[in-house]
Structure 1
Amino acid sequence: MNATMRRVVIGTVAASMAVTLAACGKAGDKKSSDNSSSSSSGSKTGSIGLLLPDSVTTRYEKFDKPYFEAKVKQLCSGCDVQYANANANATTQAQQVSTMITKGVKVIVISAQDSAAIKSSIQQAVDKGIKVVAYDRLAQGPVSAYVSFDNVKVGELQGQALLTALGSKATKSSKIVMINGDDNDPNAGQFKKGAHSVLDGKVNIAYEQSGLWKDTVAAQKMSAAITQLGAKNIAGVYSANDGMAGGIATTLKGAGISGIPLTGQDAELAAIQRIVSGTQSATVYKAFKPEAEAAATLAVDLLQGKSISSLATSTQTSGSGDKVPSQLLTPVSVTKANIKDTVVKDGLYTVAQICTTQYASACKAAGLQ
């Protein structure tokens, strides 16, 4: 090979190496870019804490938790959910927030057992850079978002259901027993406000107490109301939720009181069965799946640094004065007439689950079988 040809070959090899190195460099750059993309706001992963208030209310463990976890997994396959239940103990829930902080979660979704007591714990989480979403109950403190139903509307639906069930007996002299939720839960005040806006001036709220969201407490309050007012003088009962309505229904039965309206909330299976059998007149259905999925979507978006303005389109003010971007869903009143078109249609319960042997004849009469 002569000198001229050797120079040509060497030059060609050098150029080829340069191209190869450049290509390797670009591939490396692309890989680096991909890695950067995987940690960008659109695909960031991490742990999300879910803290629910109690296990007495059946919805939380049976519906909210699995719906929330499934939606998080759908939106962020690399995210995981750390779960804890306060079992109706505010101190326990505060400890659970501390545990979530230690675990390094990026977002905490919390349904506060006590909205005021949890404020300092929420502040601690936010100080560590953790975003907090208030779920179903608006906790105090610097929360980033809130998802729930229109709680005043819930109370209005309950009040109207009671009046409708009373019919011609809805007079200013009709004595109504009102068992509200826990005063430490801001939702309870909103339910109460909505119910009073409908009932005041149309019936006589002759006895009103808090049932603390506990069936046992509500049963005791109902017993006290019967003693104070007389069994024959009670025209109807407002119960702020289905759990308490269960305790109230038992007390009414024990006192030989039947055929009077009794409200509720949460569309628990036992409440639907009571409605079918006539021992409860109505409940309020707050579809668990869209609420849980909305909370999961907010949590993932906050974790990934995305804007939540298109989801949280309204603002609610908490007990601590914080203005919180909020997503409020629409509740639905459920009576015997629309069980099939609400909780059955949505797949919350099947007819078979509602219409067990005990309720078979009542279901048939209600058109469910």
Structure 2
Amino acid sequence: MSGRIRIGERDRDKERIIVPSKKRSGMVAFSLFIFCSLILLVQPSYSSTQPPNLDPDSIDLLGDAHVVANNDAASHVRLTNPSPSSSGLLRRPEPLIFADATTTLSTEFSFSISGNGDGVLLVLTAASGNGSDTVAVEFDTSKDDNVGDPNSNHVGIDVGSHVSLAVANVSDVNLVLNNGEKLNAWVDYEAGSKGMEVRLSKWGEKKPSDPIVSLKIDFSKIWGGNPVYAGITASNGGHSVQVVSIYSWRLKLKKVSNGLHSLPVDPHGLSEDEHRRVCPLTVLAGVIFGTGCVALVTFVVLFMWVIFFQKGSEESLAKIPDHTSDVRYERIDVAVDRNAQDDES
């Protein structure tokens, strides 16, 4: 990433923040820097006990992030102000632990992005602030040819770098990130298949069955048992006046029992043993279906046999005469030779 960063001081509850001073640079790299710096250097400027539509756990709002209360609509969190060099972070205060290969992650949030800006990031990063141990999902509204961005309307998955390992054009699903429309995003990590999937839709619509972008990745190898912070962050460049708003955020971390196997993110990722494994319910369903087919075929055969046999019997009976008058009796006259009778006598 090109550009210069200077550290300044600003009085807001005696907090130390990062103030960007740059013409323009990659959204991802700068936002990662902001995120990690805020985690290490900043105490929350505002800690909401229960912002609307967010997780019941307390949420830390850092930098320019603040709750906007609407009289005619639900309150939401605004990450950035419509001014250059504005940056904000919505962070879960409790770290996540991916201690082993059975820990899965599911998170969902709704957001909107105005025009003239760089977008928003969902970030998972180690508490140490080491950028190489960072996984981010970028909803990028700027095009940087140096990192291979396809356009200024894409979603990418970044691991330890601002160069996306997997990227997708949001225009392919008829969505625009920065037109101010509310959107829903789902990010799922499945420990069993070591896969990460991102889904995107308009606000209020159901979760799409197909991800817009996915990546094979193993969280346990990246972080081990080290604490990991999750956050949503955005920042404006020198000429950006973009406003990023977060309307809801849910995050669930759970462990899958060794005796239970959830479906992998990649349906083609089943092992050969799993393909060969037979479910009793599947066998029972097959037996019932096969029995039904045999019974149906038997019924059809018997039905056809009865029809044709009855028809043949009726044709045979039709050949027998119905009236006795059709039977003719003929008189047989026997001629007796009288001379022969005389000889016998």
What TM-score, normalized to structure 1?
Answer: 0.21
Which of the two has greater strand per residue? 2
Larger radius of gyration: 2
Q: Quick check: which one's helix share is greater?
A: 1
Instruction: Tell which has more relative contact order, 1 or 2 (C-alpha 8 A, sep 6+).
Output: 2
